[in-house]
Amino acid sequence: MQESIHRLEPLYPDVLGSITGGTRISMDKLQCALGIFPTQTYMNQPVEVILILQNMVDQPMQIKVGLQLPSQDKKGHPVVIDADKKTLTLSMRPGEVGVLRIPIIPLPPTQPGTAFPVRVAVRYRTPNEGHAVRPPAGGAPPSVLSISSFKLQALREVAFSAHTWNESAEIITTYFDVAPKRTQPTGQDLQARYESLWTMQEMVEERELVQAKVEDARRIASGLTRNTVYQPMMAAVEEHFGDRGMPLHPGETRAIAKMMTYTMDEGLELEQGFAMEDSRWFLTLCQVLAHNPDVFNMDRGELVTKYLFEAALYDAILLGFSTIDPKVKEDLGDAAERVNYANRVLAWFAGEGDPDPSYIYLPLAMGGVVVNMLVSAKDENPWLLVDQLTEANRGRARLASGEVATIFKVMDSLLNQAEDALRRARVTRQ
């Protein structure tokens, strides 16, 4: 009976990602995406610069937006683009998501041309550090919004970009064309407008909708086994790391997929101190079902890789530390440090920071070695992971120094333990 009244506390939904398809610029406590609509206009005809802003913390936020418009084209001809104001300030409530629309208009003597750049500088300030209310790499879509479905669809038709300027996350660039046609000046209003898309008020209804999907989520969870999750997870792991500029060796892909599959299959119930219904992936599943009940009928592998990957990655990192704890001598940090590390890895997936081989090995690939014999595809020999990962580990260790080199020594020890376990179990190499 107690299980049926388990109360969930959902994270705030990823409203920005549900609009942009995942495109985002991440600046720690603020995420944004920039677009322009339409992408082509005529002389004297305005376009709108559209900036989606997503507050990631439980603190109010002061936003300052600066507009940088070109003064000449690629050929050196003068360009005149008018805007009501070049600098705007606005306030956002804790966790709020909104859209800022800034009309601009090309004027003579601007010549027709393509790819006129519009740069938008975004800076923010919060009164206190606050706590994160959304996962950095994207979470569940919203079930409730404070705008109409018509307005939402219009926003989704905008092509949002994440082009930064001079590698500064605070300066985003979008582009538009001016076609060779001139319309008469219309005297249109160029005043910028901000509209809220989602606030904490929506969270009350969101919680109830999510809670109502717990039983459906449990039924789905019972089918998320190594038979349905492992192979799709391998493809997703390879794709996600590759997209972030850190391609994996086959053994690394296999090990991370094993750790993530174990997390979704039975690991959270087997390891002490964890429970499936307290996990981020289960909570995200409830939120996804609240947003779209048809997800219940999706192929389980597709559901996991499309909606639950980042949440499962977060859980796999925390579970991975616990899994390797008894097998290593090094201090792996306390619970708070492990959560901070998991958040740092997810922030990297959202575009913050540089690639770090630690994100592959500690604790994901290491955990994959520990659970190797518990998770496998049909006819997969557990020696395959050990041999592939031994090769990958040696290759990376040759290039490593400092603290990172220690990680590869730990992995070498875990691989030696895994070899001994396979020999004791009389598992033969194929």
Q: What does the block give as tokens for 413?
A: 């020890």
Average pLDDT for residues 109-136, to the nearest whole number? Answer: 95
**What single-letter amino acid sits at 273?**
G
The model's pLDDT over 317-352, given as tens digits with 9 standing for 90+, comes to: 999 999 999 999 999 999 999 999 999 999 999 988
Q: Give the pLDDT band (50/70/90) at residue 165.
A: low
- pLDDT for residue 1 is more than 50: no
The model's pLDDT over 370-406, given as tens digits with 9 standing for 90+, comes to: 999 999 888 899 999 999 999 999 999 998 888 888 9
- pLDDT for residue 4 is more than 60: no
Average pLDDT for residues 96-112, to the nearest whole number? Answer: 96
- Provide the whole-model pTM: 0.91
Phi, psi torsion values for 67, nearest 5 degrees? -100, 125
Least confident of 155-164, 299-308, 309-318: 155-164
123: which strand partners? 64
Contacts of 54 (CB under 8 A, 6+ apart): 14, 15, 16, 24, 30, 31, 32, 97, 134
pLDDT at 12: 96
- pLDDT for residue 164 is more than 80: no
73/381 Cα distance (integer angstroms)? 61
Least confident of 303-307, 368-372, 426-430: 426-430
Average pLDDT for residues 123-142, to the nearest whole number? Answer: 94
- pLDDT for residue 168 is more than 80: no
